[in-house]
Structure 1
Amino acid sequence: MANAFVLRSLDEIRFWSRIMKEHAFFLSLGFSYNDSKLIQEAQQFITLFERIEEQLSRLSPNADPEEIRNFNNQVYQAAASIWVYKRKVLGLVLRCEIRSNNYALLVDHISREAAYFANRLKELNEGRMIPLPEAIIKENVFFLKIMADHSKFIGHLLDPSERKLVEQAREFSHDFDQLVFQAIDLDSMRPQSETEPILDQFLDQNRVSVVALRDFKKTARELIEACKIKSNIHPLLADHTFREAERFLSIIDMFEASLTSGNQ
């Protein structure tokens, strides 16, 4: 029988390594031709995560946990390295030392995801598999902010003439900003009260909003791929944001299952 630690580790690496590789690609598209060194560094990260994906393809769900623990450490170093690169790029953007089509918020956004990935691998190697109530709230804050950011990016990258879609993206941005604030409020209340019933309600509410955004992203992705809407959104970016919404839904499922098992 496959070890739960092995399965969880392989799943995290499978999902997030692809995300990291795509981040490097998106950054490279946004640089000007003068930023050849930064483009070269982005390409090196694409190659690095492609190698990790190749290693991953050779690992079995029945692999020795110690082998996976070592692999996690290796991938952790890659995630930490791309985080450093992303923060360097963000500093260059904020100091106006480069002129890039990558928004400062976008670079910050993808660096937060690299930090999240590295932290997940660290937690797994430390044996932290079952989420605690406070972890559920904090992880939702992280993903709700990611969804809010996506909505803002979509709104800004759509052609201004796509008024209806731009307005829908703004509405999603507002919705997820409010959910972030609600999650922060719940986090501050948690130590003083029994929160499991509130958490159930909170997760249900988040699910409804994430499903709506996921479906919006799916439609946008299909329209972009068919060249039926005007935008600066790369088809891969449309698919990338859709997959992250799907990921958040799977995490909500995991959290709801952990609350249910904890109450039995």
Structure 2
Amino acid sequence: MNWNENSQDPNNRIDPVMFVTRSLDEIRFWSRIMKEHSLFLRLGFRCEDTQLINEANQFYHLFEQIEQRSHSLTNQTAPEQMRRFNSEVQLAATNIFAFKRKVLGLILSCQLPGANNFPLLVDHISREANYFRKRLIELNEGKLKPLADAIIKENVFFLRIMADHAKFIGHLLDPSERKLVDMARNFSNDFDELVFQARDLEGMKPQSQTVPLLDQFLDQNRVSVVSLRDFKKTARDLIEECRIKSIIHPLLADHVFREAEHFLEIIDMFEAHLTGTMSQRR
């Protein structure tokens, strides 16, 4: 996310150059994430779930094409062309969101016994699809949220994502990996607490939206995200080298690592704008 005061007018409208840049950043990151979600869902379905498998494969290829097309565009792309592409991708994100919620409904109504997609995981990836969908709508509308609102809202969203990741890692590691399972559980508890703190800060708006409080909020979250990012990197490397016991797909391990990196980039961008300095503590 590129949040830049100079790219706004007093009405928080984003300028054309920043609109294209931010649109491409969002689509390039999230289209890859959506593509991988499709793969993870497919791997969790039962052999007999052929219709769901086919739908997942269709979404995989759709977002693979979107990802490829996004890399054929540049920051010099005409805003109108970018706006049309955003609308097209937003429709795809809306459709995969609906697919994920359908799958969640089937799981919660016990219509997929024996499948291997956790309900929380399906809810988690549907929240990310909805986030992506809404981000593209906001970009096409040409408005940015006020900085203080954006800081709190983005952190509430991503802290919950990080808490979920820790829970998934803990459940997908082999139970005999006791030390790593315990570490994942501790990260889950840490991020659950951070989510509650973020929601408390959100509930105290607008009085809570002071620079010192928001700066401390970002600093505290960064410390925890860096620790989790490093844990994910270690787990990813160990999984790729077949040095630990788990049922975690190597791509899933890299997937959650990249999302932590993305969150850190967002935190750093917010702090750079809030205080005029970029963190060197990563």
What TM-score bracket applies, with the shorter chain setting the length? over 0.9
Aligned pair in 2 of structure 1 residues 44, 194: CA closer, same or farther (>3 Å)? closer
Say which of 229, 245, 263 aligns to 1:248.
263
1:107 aligns with 2:106: no
Q: How many Å apart are 1:26 and its aligned residue? A: 0.1
**Helix, strand or coil: the match of 1:101?**
coil
**Offset of residue 240 of structure 1:** 0.1
Question: Is residue 152–residue 169 contact of structure 1 (8 Å, CA) maintained in 2?
Answer: yes
Aligned length: 260
- Code of the residue aligned with 1:148 in structure 2: it is A
Distance across 1 between alignment mates of 2:78 and 2:237: 41
Q: How does 1:26-105 map to 2 (within 5 A)?
A: 26-99=40-113, 100-105=115-120
* Runs of 4+ that moved beyond 4 A: none
Deviation track 1:27-53 (CA, whole Å, cap 9, x = no partner) reads 000000111100000000001011112
- Matches of 1:187 and 1:217, distance apart in 2: 28
Asked if 1:238 is matched to 2:253, the reply is: yes
In the TM superposition, residue 130 of structure 1 has moved relative to its aligned partner by 5.7
SS in 2 for 1:32: coil
**CA shift for structure 1 position 131:** 4.5
Could you tell me the TM-score, scaled by structure 2's length? Answer: 0.90
Residue 170 and residue 77 in structure 1: after superposition, are their counterparts in 2 closer, same or farther (change >3 A)?
same
Tell me if structure 2 keeps the 8 A contact 1:224–1:233.
yes
Q: For residue 161 of structure 1, what is the amino acid of its counterpart?
A: S
Following superposition, the deviation at residue 54 of structure 1 comes to 2.1
- The answer (yes or no) to whether the contact 1:19–1:240 under 8 Å persists in 2 is yes
- In the alignment, the residues of structure 2 paired with residue 59 and residue 105 of structure 1 have an alpha-carbon distance, to the nearest angstrom, of 35
* 2: CA distance, partners of 1:230 / 1:82: 32
1:117-132 alignment runs, 5 A limit: 117-129=132-144, 131-132=146-147
Q: Is the 8 A contact 1:131 1:255 kept in 2?
A: no
- Which amino acid counterpart does residue 251 of structure 1 have in structure 2? I
Q: 2:160 & 2:40 partners in 1: Cα distance?
A: 20
What is the identity percentage for the equivalent residue pairs of Structure 1 and Structure 2? 69
Q: 1:9 aligns with which of 20, 23, 35?
A: 23
Structure 1 SS opposite 2:38: helix
> Contact between 1:130 and 1:258, CA under 8 Å: does it hold in 2?
no
Deviations 1:88-144 (A, max 9, x none): 000000000112200000000000000000111111111124643122111101000
Secondary structure at the residue paired with 1:161?
coil
Give the deviation of 1:24 after TM superposition: 0.4
Unaligned runs of 5+ in 1: none
Q: Secondary structure at the match of 2:204?
A: helix
Query: Alignment partner of 1:192: what SS?
Result: coil
Report the residue type matching 2:217 in the other structure: F
Matched, 1:150 2:165: yes
Q: What residue number does 1:202 align with?
A: 217
Indicate conservation of the 8 Å contact 1:90/1:108, yes or no: yes
Unaligned runs of 5+ in 2: 1-15, 277-282
CA contact under 8 A between 2:201 and 2:208: conserved in structure 1?
no
The answer on whether the counterparts of 1:5 and 1:129 sit within 8 Å (CA) in structure 2 is no
